[in-house]
Structure 1
Amino acid sequence: MKNFVQPGNTLSVIAPTGGVTSGAGVLIGNLFGIAAASATEGTSVSLTTVGVFDLPKLGTDTIDQGQRVYWDAANAHITEASTGNYPVGIASEAAGNGTTSVRVRLDGISTAPAA
């Protein structure tokens, strides 16, 4: 196939304002992924858009295995609250109140804030 470019599991993007840290969630427009390396603002960085990652979560949330989770872009963490946040995947393991991370399987699809 002449027009095939790549599988798309990892995309090269330009690091947004403030740059990115390796392993951190990154939202660029409607694209969410995990930074493969640290990069300064305006430089190229790879984002992994599918896979399972341990991500920071709101400590007071109680998230069940299989539950849809959302990226709170303002606070850079996963939350169970949908309103105004970006759906990014599902919790592959439960994460209770008091825990500050959750294991998330990324959907790898475009996202927009939930109403």
Structure 2
Amino acid sequence: MRNFVMSGCTLTALAAAAVKSGDLVVANAVFGVATGDAAIGQEFELDTSGGVYDLPKVAAEAWDFGQVLYYDAAAKKVTETQAANLKIGVAVNPKGEAANAPIGRVRLNKSF
């Protein structure tokens, strides 16, 4: 197949804001986890493979295993609240995530 470019598990993106390795980055409908640091305007690699990550969450929320999760761009945290937030994955801690925990285990979707 001559028009195949790449698998798409990692994409090169341009940093709209400073990015640190491990940050969840959302650019329109593309989201993933930064594999390295980048200053504004620099290229960086974004892992879009759909892996499992420990990410900042809305601390007041308690999540159940398999619960659908969204990204709140204003708070820069993962939340259970759909509202105008982007659906990004599901909670995957087998014991669930306790309220008041600042970090939650999330399996990111590969696409919408």
Q: Alpha-carbon deviations, 1:14-47, whole Å to 9, x = none?
A: 111x221110111111111111101011111011
Task: Report the CA distance between 1:7 and its aligned residue.
Answer: 1.1
User: Number of residue pairs matched?
Assistant: 109
Q: Alpha-carbon deviations, 1:42-97, whole Å to 9, x = none?
A: 11101111211000101101110001101111111100011011100011111110
What secondary structure, in the 3-state scheme, does the structure 1 residue paired with 2:58 have? coil
- Tell me if 1:14 matches 2:14: yes
Structure 1, unmatched stretches of 5+, are 111-115
- TM normalised by structure 1 equals 0.90
- Aligned equivalents of 1:47, 1:86: Cα separation in 2: 17
RMSD of aligned Cα (Å): 0.9
- Tell me if 1:74 matches 2:74: yes
Runs (4+) off by over 3 Å: none
What secondary structure, in the 3-state scheme, does the structure 1 residue paired with 2:81 have? coil
Structure 2, unmatched stretches of 5+, are none
Identity %: 38
- TM normalised by structure 2 equals 0.93
Within 5 Å, give how 1:1-115 maps onto structure 2. Answer: 1-16=1-16, 18-49=17-48, 50-93=50-93, 94-110=96-112
